[in-house]
Chains A and B, each alone.
Chain A
Amino acid sequence: MKNKGLGEFEELVLLAVCILGSEAYGISVKNEVEKHSGRSVLLGAVHITLYRLQDKGLLQSELGGNTNKRGDRRKRLFTITDSGMQQLKTSRDLRYSMWQLIPQLKLR
């Protein structure tokens, strides 16, 4: 089935995961997105999105990470997959090509 494209929030989360590299888990992704977008994000929304992206195959995850101040609970760390990277690039290219077509006059 053809990929329908990324939602806006999904895209932000994917980008945040890319930025965070190996440190991407629920809280850090939430903070990153909040930092860059300036709006407050619910933890549940981040988690759900992460799982959904994982279901789509754009992310992969594993449990791990230190257990300080989490009551001995591990974190789930997400990393981007190849198809996830591909999806991001496709999305960026689409935006860019459409931007190029806007008549010069209007850009000012």
Chain B
Amino acid sequence: MSQIPNLPRWLVTLLTAFVPRSMEEELLGDLEELHADRCKQRGSFIANLLLFVDMVHLSLGFGRRKTRARNASPWGHYLLVSRRNLLRNRSYLIVNLLGLTGGMAVCLLIAQYLSFELSFDRFHSDGPNTYRLYSTSVRNGQALPSETSFTYGLAAEASATIPEVVSFCRVRPVFKDEGCIISNPRSGAKFLEDDKVWYVDPTFLELFNFPLQSGHDPHVLSQPNSIVITQEAATKLFGRDDPIGQTLHMGGGTITGDFIVTGVLQALPGHTHLDFDYLLPLQFLLENNNIYVRGDGWEWQNFVTYVQLTPSADLFATGAKFEQILEAHLDAQHWQSNSAYAFGFQKLQDIHLGRFDPNEGLPWRLWFFGLIAVLILLIAWFNYINLSTVQALRRAKEVGLRKTLGANRRAITQQFLVESWLLNSLAAMMSVIAAYALLPVLHDIVGNDMPMSLYQDGRFWAVLVLTIAVGSVLSGLYPAFVLASLSPLRSLQTNQGVLTQRISLRKVLLTMQFLASALLIAGTYVIFRQVEFMRSQVLGIDMEQLVIVPGPRAAIEQGWEIVTSQYEVFRNEVKAHHAISSICGTSNVPGEGTIFTGNMRRLGAPSSEDVFVDVVLVDVAFTDTYDFKFIEGQPFQPEVASYGGVLLNDKARQVLDMGTPAAALEESLVISGYDTLPVQGVVENVNWFSLDQPQVPIIYALVHDYNSYFSIRVSASDIPGALAHIEDTYRALFPDDPYTGFFLDEHFDQQYRADLQFGRLFITFASVAVFIACIGLFALVSHAATVRTKELGIRKVLGAGLRNVMLLISKEYLILLGIAHLVALPIFWWAANTWLENYPYRVGITWDILLVPGVLLTFIAALTVLYRTYLSANANPVDSLRAE
């Protein structure tokens, strides 16, 4: 017969795991004999099969583990020992805890911020199928920012002809020159509400889930004179009275009316991009605003349009259908100046993120913050590893004793893992509390009032537990490893642990901490430099001492003639003050956009050459007040009638093909196909918009008394006096209007608010990171100094000076710092360049940007190191040599 196979080894191993040792031999023997017989009689396949069955049965049948010696579980003991140790070394505990807690708390806050940003507008009833319409186009060779306003005819027709459109809602905020003073006639409460008053379709409250506090839905907006207000507005206007059924008056502009409150909404949640206080029916606007009454639904693109599509709608195909409708209705001129016009649907959640195409990644700043959170956490953990390694070496004696008593490496490792877990958990708990306490600080910086919603999300707690587990293992493993490999004999003798090697993990970690800190500091510096650069850019306008006063609204109700005469009185009165040099009235001021953007061409050019240009309406004093530089031509003369002339900026001159500046003065401009205005001059380009937009062509058309804004140039000789005078005059002449004057330069700075905010966040995190790293550095240096106390003592006795000793100890850390900076440099250079590409006007990366952060970090770190070494170096050598 052929070779009888022995039992496979895996089988043997498996059985020995399950079967009591006393029975092992005979069982295996029996199995083998049986197997051999079966092979002979029934073939090896069956034999193997039966063998498998027998094996399973045996395992199950016996099912007892090897009866090991029943040890008491050591975990309780480890916990006790850990606690004792931590309490005994207070300073170590505090330092470690501080670092870990700080790092984790920052992480938590960032996580909260990110989760908030990503959670916008998820609470609407059919959110996933609701979109905002947008279009992109290229004009004058430049890709424009996406446009979200459309004509009011579009949505209506789309809904009627496209089956995928289930519902729609158009939103149109009130314009500044329309009425926007809301008042309660009964109580006299009156508020200037500006863009918080929205005209909407009645479907607004169906599409968007803002629950009503009182009033009966869904027909709250069905009457043309109904109004729905938010809880805050209700309190403002009505106090404790029930607003339902009461009347509100809207005035202060070209449109006025009385409305009956039909509903009050609960306070709006923070995580929505929709920010309003009053909802009026769109119907009212369409019936009362001339431009819609006169024109058809396809002229003015003022309506933000939201649509709800069927779940199965193909976005591409539906978009094409929308485009067809547009093509049919919009005139040829529109298409001429727009090349590459594309239509799209923007998801509701993406609106806040500023993302149009869902395939685009998330905004880079969110990634940035995520990265920072990870960096800081890493710094904190590296700190822990360094500190506990160092600290643990002091416990060499304890470890030696344990090993002598029989602990193997696994047991030692377990012990220190428990300690690590204890500390991590403690830090986690404290950081949860700390983050909660620091939330208001985050609010301040971010400017948004978000609750600590993260704590209510179950997933957060799961992730937290996971992080604690992972963190304690990762950070506890190395120290445990180091300790477990100590030789018990040596450690019992001398209490000295492993000698420091040349390149130890500790040094690597420290270097990485420095690296991260250096990058964060450098990042902060770059951001602030960029913002400062943008603000200090020569804008072409001298914005200092320019006071802007929004013009009166309530007065407009009284009729234009009265208003115009009052304007004149105001201007004369104000100018009479000695500290005021000039005053003008315009439709817009820098930073507040332009009044409209229209199709224009040079007189004589074919209509195919129309281009879109922005328009600002100004009066004769404008160029003087703003100190515009003329390339050619003269300021407006008072005799010229309104709409009797325009000024072009240089960019407009080029784009409209007006020839040289001198030649342009002979030309005229055709606006929107009907108005023709002679060109009176060409002025230099100024930055009318904020600096993250490139140069735009603008025309300044003469209109007397279009005083949406008064701009007043104040001389430095008596600023407070001038301001007081302006305010008094305004209040006297326009008693029904609140005075809301501001300085243009401060206001313009608000454009950079987002960037400044970013910078402030950055600096906070950078400080935290540096702080944590310095704590770690300090502790490390402390340890090194302590270990070498005797050595230092001897050196001093032998004559080493203070400086020599200090340098001796600090040298290695300073070298690490240097290495960290060298590595940081290319990384930073690449990252900064990539970030600055977002800005058309950017600060160049000069030498100081590269050096200043490095110097700063070196300074802080060196201070830490040198201070500690100074303490050591100063010690009396007698003391250190005596202690043994």
What is A's interface to B at a CB cutoff of 8 Å? 25-27, 30, 42-45, 47-48, 51, 63, 67, 69-71, 73-76
Residue from A25, A42, A45 whose CB has the most chain B CB atoms within 10 Å: A42
Closest to A70 in B: B29
Q: Decide if B23 touches A51 in the complex (CB within 8 Å).
A: yes
Q: List 17 A-B contacts (CB under 8 A).
A: A26-B27, A43-B30, A43-B58, A44-B57, A44-B62, A48-B62, A51-B23, A70-B33, A71-B7, A71-B28, A71-B29, A73-B28, A73-B29, A74-B29, A76-B23, A76-B25, A76-B26
A-B contacts, CB under 8 A, total? 64
**Chain B residues in 8 Å Cβ range of A44:** 54, 57-58, 61-62
**Chain B residues in 8 Å Cβ range of A67:** 29
Q: Decide if A27 touches B34 in the complex (CB within 8 Å).
A: yes
**Chain B residues in 8 Å Cβ range of A71:** 6-7, 28-29, 32
A63 to B29, CA, bound (A): 12
Rounded to whole Å, the gap between the CB of A30 and the closest CB of chain B is 8
A26-B26, A47-B27, A63-B26 known; A70+B57 contact, CB < 8 A: no
Q: Decide if A25 touches B30 in the complex (CB within 8 Å).
A: yes
A25-B26, A74-B26 known; A69+B57 contact, CB < 8 A: no
Rounded to whole Å, the gap between the CB of B115 and the closest CB of chain A is 56
A73 to B28, CA, bound (A): 8
Q: Decide if B32 touches A69 in the complex (CB within 8 Å).
A: yes
Q: Would you give the 0/1 interface string for B6-47, flagging 1 where the beta carbon is closer than 8 Å to chain A? A: 110000000000000001011111111110110000000000
New A-B pairs, 13, CB < 8 Å, besides A26-B30, A42-B54, A76-B25: A27-B37, A43-B54, A44-B61, A47-B61, A48-B61, A48-B62, A63-B25, A69-B4, A70-B32, A73-B26, A73-B28, A74-B26, A76-B26
Q: Decide if B32 touches A43 in the complex (CB within 8 Å).
A: no
Rounded to whole Å, the gap between the CB of B50 and the closest CB of chain A is 9
Rounded to whole Å, the gap between the CB of B23 and the closest CB of chain A is 7
A70 to B25, CA, bound (A): 10
A48-B61, A71-B7 known; A43+B29 contact, CB < 8 A: no
Q: Decide if B6 touches A73 in the complex (CB within 8 Å).
A: no
Query: Which listed residue (A51, A69, A74) contacts B36, Cβ 8 A?
Result: A69
A33 to B32, CA, bound (A): 19
Q: Decide if B32 touches A73 in the complex (CB within 8 Å).
A: yes
A42 to B30, CA, bound (A): 12
**Chain A residues in 8 Å Cβ range of B7:** 71
Rounded to whole Å, the gap between the CB of B510 and the closest CB of chain A is 59
**Chain A residues in 8 Å Cβ range of B6:** 71
**Chain B residues in 8 Å Cβ range of A47:** 23, 27, 30, 58, 61
A75 to B29, CA, bound (A): 7
**Chain B residues in 8 Å Cβ range of A25:** 26, 30
Rounded to whole Å, the gap between the CB of B412 and the closest CB of chain A is 39
Rounded to whole Å, the gap between the CB of A36 and the closest CB of chain B is 18
A47 to B15, CA, bound (A): 14
Q: Chain B at the A interface: mostly helix, strand, loop or mixed?
A: helix
Closest to A77 in B: B26
Closest to B61 in A: A44
Rounded to whole Å, the gap between the CB of A25 and the closest CB of chain B is 7
A47 to B55, CA, bound (A): 12
Rounded to whole Å, the gap between the CB of B35 and the closest CB of chain A is 10
Query: Which listed residue (A45, A48, A51, A75) contacts B30, Cβ 8 A?
Result: A75
A76 to B31, CA, bound (A): 13
Rounded to whole Å, the gap between the CB of A106 and the closest CB of chain B is 40
Rounded to whole Å, the gap between the CB of B33 and the closest CB of chain A is 5
Residue from A25, A26, A44 whose CB has the most chain B CB atoms within 10 Å: A44
A51 to B54, CA, bound (A): 17
**Chain A residues in 8 Å Cβ range of B30:** 25-27, 43, 47, 70, 75
A31 to B607, CA, bound (A): 108
A71 to B6, CA, bound (A): 7
Query: Which listed residue (B25, B26, B33, B57) contacts A42, Cβ 8 A?
Result: B57
A27 to B32, CA, bound (A): 10
Query: Which listed residue (A63, A69, A76) contacts B33, Cβ 8 A?
Result: A69
A63 to B23, CA, bound (A): 10
A45 to B4, CA, bound (A): 25
Rounded to whole Å, the gap between the CB of B6 and the closest CB of chain A is 6
A26-B30, A43-B31 known; A73+B58 contact, CB < 8 A: no
Rounded to whole Å, the gap between the CB of B16 and the closest CB of chain A is 13
**Chain B residues in 8 Å Cβ range of A43:** 30-31, 34, 54, 57-58
Closest 8 CB pairs of A and B: A73-B29, A26-B30, A76-B26, A70-B29, A44-B57, A44-B58, A44-B61, A73-B25
Rounded to whole Å, the gap between the CB of A5 and the closest CB of chain B is 22
Closest to A46 in B: B30
Closest to B60 in A: A44
**Chain A residues in 8 Å Cβ range of B54:** 42-44
**Chain B residues in 8 Å Cβ range of A73:** 25-26, 28-29, 32
Rounded to whole Å, the gap between the CB of B485 and the closest CB of chain A is 40
A71 to B28, CA, bound (A): 9
Rounded to whole Å, the gap between the CB of A8 and the closest CB of chain B is 18
A27 to B62, CA, bound (A): 18
**Chain B residues in 8 Å Cβ range of A48:** 61-62
A84 to B358, CA, bound (A): 83
A26 to B593, CA, bound (A): 98
Rounded to whole Å, the gap between the CB of B30 and the closest CB of chain A is 4
Rounded to whole Å, the gap between the CB of B60 and the closest CB of chain A is 8
Rounded to whole Å, the gap between the CB of B54 and the closest CB of chain A is 5
Q: Would you give the 0/1 interface string for B563-600, flagging 1 where the beta carbon is closer than 8 Å to chain A? A: 00000000000000000000000000000000000000
**Chain A residues in 8 Å Cβ range of B33:** 27, 69-70
